[in-house]
Amino acid sequence: MNVVKREDHAAAVKACVDNFGSLNVYLNNAGVNKPKMFMDIDEENWDFIMNVNAKGMLFGMQEAARQMIEQGPMEDHPYKIINVGSILSRAAFDDVIPYSCSKHATLAMITGGAKALWQHKITVNGYGPGVVATELWKQLDKDLVAIGKFEKEGQSMDTLAETMILMKKLSTPDDVVGTAAFLASDESDYMTGQLIMIDGGIVMQ
């Protein structure tokens, strides 16, 4: 699936409806990053990140909402759209500014989308992971070495764990899945427009 293509979102929605009869929850999880220092950011870098992280999310929200509106309100529960943000939805670092901008856009789409879609009984929420020990972060760690931000691989994650994360440890995907499941469940019916941080205490609000 190419999230930058609106028709791919529409196809995913159709596949869900064809297989399960309706679309009740849609989660936007695609994201990319490519660190560059501020003066080195170019159009290619900016467009690559913003297209996937921001435009792709907008298309996903719109195509999901279009189907949910067509289905009509459910009797007992709202529909759910869930967007994956980041600690950088509420902060910014000098080596990942396009990514920070894209994740601030995620927050705007959560809050603005919640206001726009509640009339159709659709909630919009999200969660913001911190430093998660995944393949994405391993690649990010290599990229940070390549631009001279750190001297050796592994140093970025160790440094962030020691200096920024209150709990002094990286998170794992298991730390995130519970919140995602909660936002998709009936337990979150009375929530909308919220971004929940899962970051070990980096961003406090």
Does 134 score more than 90 pLDDT?
A: no
158 falls in which pLDDT band (50, 70, 90)? confident
Mean pLDDT (the chain) is: 95
Does 137 score more than 90 pLDDT?
A: no
Residues 38-83 have pLDDT tens digits of: 999 999 999 999 999 999 999 999 999 999 999 999 999 999 999 9
Domain boundaries of the chain, sorted by first residue: 6-198
- DSSP assignment string, 85-142: --GGGS---TT-HHHHHHHHHHHHHHHHHHHHHGGGTEEEEEEEE-SB-SHHHHHHHH
What are the backbone dihedrals phi and psi of residue 126, each rounded to the nearest 5 degrees, phi first? -160, 175
The distance in angstroms from the start CA to the end CA of the chain is: 35
Domain 6-198 has CATH 3.20.20.70: no
What is the per-residue pLDDT for 182?
A: 98
What is the per-residue pLDDT for 135?
A: 84
What is the per-residue pLDDT for 160?
A: 86
Neighbours of 191 (CB within 10 A): 16
Does 8 score more than 90 pLDDT?
A: yes
Does 205 score more than 80 pLDDT?
A: no
The residues annotated as belonging to the active site are: 99, 103
Alpha carbon 45 to its chain's center: 19
Residues 90-116 have pLDDT tens digits of: 999 999 999 999 999 999 999 999 999
pTM of the entire structure? 0.93
